[in-house]
Amino acid sequence: MLFPLLRRGVVALALAAAAASLGYLLAAVSLDPRARIEGRQPRPPQAAVEAELTALGLNDRTPLGERYLTWASGVLRGDFGRTWQGAEVSAELPGRITTSVLLLLPGTVLGALAGVALGAWSALTGGRVFTVVAHVLLATPVFVIAVLLQLMAEHVNAATGMPLLQWVGEGSGTLSRLQHLLLPTLTVALGHLALFGRYQQALMRDVAEAEHVRAARARGLGLYRAYFGHGLRTALVPTTTYFAYGLGFLLLGAAFVETAFGRHGMGAWMLDSLRASDPHPVAACTAVAAVAVPAGTLLAAAAHRFLDPATARASRSRV
C-alpha cells in the first residue's frame, strides 16, 4: 500500500511542476511589463528601464530559458519573484491564499453536502422542484447570484432598520467578519448545491437499480436503509472524486465572487495582475492551483479506497 501512495505522490509532484512551469512560461511570453515601466511619466532612460527589468527578472530581452531557470530556482527557495512595481510576490501570497480559502471553502463544503443530500433525496422521491431550482441556479452566472443576494440583503437591512447583512470588504472583529462572510458563503454554496445536487441525483438514479441495492432489499432491509445505507456510499465515490479534483479550480475560480464582494484573494489578484501585465503574480497563482490539483488527485484516491466497497473488501482480505 505504501509503494502505490509514494508512486502517486511522485507523479503528483511531477504534474504540479509541469503545470506551474507552463503557467510561468505562458505568463512570461504573453504579458508585457516593459510597457508599464516605459510608460511612467516622466519616461525613464532606456538604460534604466533595462536595468530595472533585469533586476526584477522581467526583461523580455533575456532568453526565456534563462528567465525560467531563475524563476524556478527561486520558487524552490520559496521566492516567487517580484511584481513589476518591485513588491515581493511571496510576501503577499499567503494572505491572498488565506482570503480565498476562508471565502470559498465553507461555502463549497456546505454547498456540496447540501447538494449531495438534496440530490439523493430528490432521486428517491422523484421531486421535480429541486431539479428546476438546480437548473435555474446552474444557468445563472455566479456574479448575478451575488448581486441578487446583495439586493435582497439591502431590503432586509431596510426592513429591520439595522445593518444585519454586510458584504463589502472583510470587516473587523469576529462578529463583523462573520457578517461579511455570510453572503459570499451563500453565493458559493448555492452554485455548488446545484452542481453537486444534479450530479448526485443522476448517480443515485443509476445506483437505485444496482445489484447490491436490490440484494439488500431482498434481505429484508427497508427502502431507505437499502437506498442510503448501501446505494449512497457507492454513489459518493465519483462525487468525492469530483470534489477533490475541483480543489485546484476553487482558488482560481474565485475571481467573480471576490470581485463582487470586494475581497482581495487569489482570483482578484490574478485578474488584476493580468490587467497590469505582471507575470510573476500570475505564475504564483497558477503554481498554487498546480499544487492543489495533484493534491486533489491523492485525496480522490484515498476517498475512493474508503468509500468503494470492493476496494475495502480487497484491503481486508489482504490483511
pLDDT band (50, 70, 90) for residue 250: low
Mean pLDDT of the chain: 83
The number of angstroms, rounded, from the C-alpha of 74 to the middle of its chain's C-alpha atoms is 25
Cell of 115: 447538494
Judge if pTM exceeds 0.85: no
> How far apart are alpha carbons 204 and 124 in whole angstroms?
8
**What is the torsional sign of CA 114, 116, 119, 125?**
negative
Beta bridge partners of 82: 88
pLDDT(63) > 90: yes
Residue 267 has pLDDT above 60, yes or no: yes
Model confidence band, residue 101 (pLDDT cutoffs 50, 70, 90): confident
Report how far residue 101's alpha carbon sits from residue 97's, in angstroms, rounded to the nearest whole number: 6
Query: Which domains occur in the chain, in start order?
Result: 93-318 (1.10.3720.10)
pLDDT on residue 223: 64
DSSP structural state of residue 86: S
Give tens-digit pLDDT for 19-31. Answer: 899 999 999 999 9
Mean pLDDT of 84-96: 93
Backbone region of residue 238 per phi and psi (left: phi > 0; alpha: psi in -120 to 50; beta: other values): alpha
- Do the beta carbons of residue 71 and residue 58 sit within 8 Å? no
Per residue in 132-145, pLDDT (tens digit) is 999 999 888 888 99
Residue pointed to by grid coordinates 439523493: 120
Rounded CA gap, 205 and 202, in Å? 5
Contact 85, 39 (CB under 8 A): no
pLDDT in tens, 156-182: 999 988 888 888 777 777 888 888 889
Handedness of CA 134, 135, 136, 141 (dihedral sign): positive
Stretch among 69-78, 220-229, 269-278 having the lowest mean pLDDT: 220-229
Q: Which of 10-14, 59-63, 218-222, 263-267 has the highest mean pLDDT?
A: 59-63
Q: What is the mean pLDDT of residues 107-125?
A: 86
